[in-house]
């Protein structure tokens, strides 16, 4: 069931909101952020980008790139 305000995230059985997984592909993230790293290939994983930019979350990555 889609819950309002979760931005394509979902809650776990314990009721906590789950983050994007590190194995999410860049091409998937581009559905929400179309201009996200246009020079990078779409098959690169979020985990790899987090390591490269030395951040620990998608939100921090977007801030580092000036997207959010």
**Phi/psi of residue 25, nearest 5 degrees:** -80, 150
Give per-residue pLDDT as tens, 9-36: 556 677 666 666 788 999 999 999 999 9
Give per-residue pLDDT as tens, 36-61: 999 999 999 999 999 999 998 888 99
Cα–Cα distance between 67 and 7 in angstroms, integer? 16
Q: Where are the domains of the chain?
A: 26-65
């Amino acid at each position: 069931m889609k819950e309002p305000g979760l931005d394509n995230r979902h809650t776990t059985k314990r009721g906590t909101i789950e983050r994007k997984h590190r194995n999410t592909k860049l091409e998937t993230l581009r559905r929400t952020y179309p201009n996200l790293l246009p020079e990078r290939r779409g098959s690169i994983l979020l985990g790899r980008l987090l390591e490269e930019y030395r951040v620990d979350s998608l939100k921090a990555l977007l801030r580092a790139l000036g997207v959010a």
